[in-house]
Structure 1
Amino acid sequence: MSADTTIVDPGTTADAPSEPVPRRRGRTTLLIATAAVLGLVAGTCTGFLVQAHRAPTKLPSLSQPVVTQAKGPGPDPLSAAQDHRVKTDGDLRKLLITRPKGTREAHWTGSDGWMDMTEYADSYKKPANAFPDLINNEFRRAAVAGWEQGGTTTVEIRLVQFRQEESLKADEYADNEYFWAEKEAGTRSWSLPGTGDGMAYVHTRPETKPGYLPMYSAEAHAWRGDIAMEIWIYGTRPIAKEKIMDLAKRQVGRL
């Protein structure tokens, strides 16, 4: 690769947040929750008023017929293909799409395709702030694959897994990535089929720096279960929608 076509590491150029960003649908959730509470209070008060004017109702006998247990074998357990936990608790690297022929493996793909919390935090602009956020978000592990193509294009794919003992952190993580992707000027976006709210983005305005070629980028984000998917493409030429969509669809199909 020549000096004038230096490719910037996707992990270090991503404008990742150093502080948690409020979820975009959080206000709607709050309004629904408030309405539900008010409805419950009103319904309870009405129930007390109605019950106060009713005659006592005779209680049923405590003796109830015994329900016999159904005979025959129980339901069959899920197969490995049907049980999502079997796939995601194993080797996440096997869920990454394979590197295309004619490309070179990237040097930032972590230790044998894995990224621990420290390595992942280092991919942010402010690792010291990102590290405690990852702890609070119940980060578990990340599998990564990447390649270089033609000396002018780089691709990185990460599958980030969360413990999710308190809440759906993978969903929250993807929401955060949508927020930052949409903030960039000159951005076009499309929904990813089969993902619910997954999105793909192409940034039409390149990053420029004196002495370097313009750097164009595209990205895709989605989540499934306890895994958040992120894909980054960087190149010295504009990136086509078909390229980021094809990578995202193939990767989602393996989750």
Structure 2
Amino acid sequence: MLEFMMASDFRRVACASWEQGEYKSTFIQLIQFRTAAAANEHATGQLHYVAGEDWSSESGDALKGSGNGHYAASKLRNKPGYLQMYRARAVFQRGDVMVDIFVFDTKRISKNEIRTLAERQLERL
């Protein structure tokens, strides 16, 4: 992945993560590229995962005000020997910065929760 990023005019990345309660984790990545076109290309590629059938129970909803952003909450992932896990993800791009947000929990994550988190990050850009 790093080789791909370097070939795609990657400039720098800032990450933040935190845990809430025993099982809920949130990860936010702000990835800056040298050009807006490179950020858009990477965001478009990541949006295919958000819309993918194995990732999400829905194709995802458009993130208002972002242009190309989407968010989705996944169906339950249940593998023997592992905790049941829900995921939510938001991906959007503004200018030369692409934002990727993940939330994981053993309880259902509402689309409203991931949308609100994405909208707050979008406002900060």
Give the TM-score taking structure 1 as reference length.
0.46
1:170 aligns with 2:1: no
How many Å separate the matches in 1 of 2:65 and 2:118? 11
Counterpart of 2:25 (choices 131, 136, 154) is: 154
**AA at the equivalent of 1:220:** A
How many Å separate the matches in 2 of 1:211 and 1:132? 34
1:190 aligns with 2:61: yes
User: Is the helix fraction higher in 1 or 2?
Assistant: 1
How many Å separate the matches in 2 of 1:245 and 1:218? 9
How many Å separate the matches in 2 of 1:195 and 1:134? 22
C-alpha deviation, 1:217, in angstroms: 0.3
C-alpha deviation, 1:183, in angstroms: 1.1
Contact (CA 8 Å) 2:62, 2:70: kept in 1 or not?
yes
Moved over 4 A (4+): none
Unaligned runs of 5+ in 1: 1-129
How many Å separate the matches in 1 of 2:18 and 2:2? 26
Contact (CA 8 Å) 2:62, 2:69: kept in 1 or not?
yes
Paired residues in the alignment total: 123
Which has more radius of gyration? 1
Identity fraction in percent: 37
C-alpha deviation, 1:188, in angstroms: 4.6
Specify the SS of the correspondent of 1:187.
Answer: coil
Partner residue of 2:87? 217
The answer to which structure, 1 or 2, has the higher relative contact order (CA under 8 A, 6+ apart) is: 2
Unaligned runs of 5+ in 2: none
1:99-133 Cα distance to aligned partner (Å, 9 max, x none):
xxxxxxxxxxxxxxxxxxxxxxxxxxxxxxx2321
Give the TM-score taking structure 2 as reference length.
0.92
How many Å separate the matches in 1 of 2:16 and 2:2? 22
How many Å separate the matches in 1 of 2:94 and 2:74? 25
User: Is the strand fraction higher in 1 or 2?
Assistant: 2
Aligned positions of 1:79-90 closer than 5 A: none
Indicate the RMSD between aligned Cα atoms, in angstroms.
1.3
Contact (CA 8 Å) 1:215, 1:237: kept in 2 or not?
yes
Contact (CA 8 Å) 2:50, 2:71: kept in 1 or not?
no
**AA at the equivalent of 2:50:** A
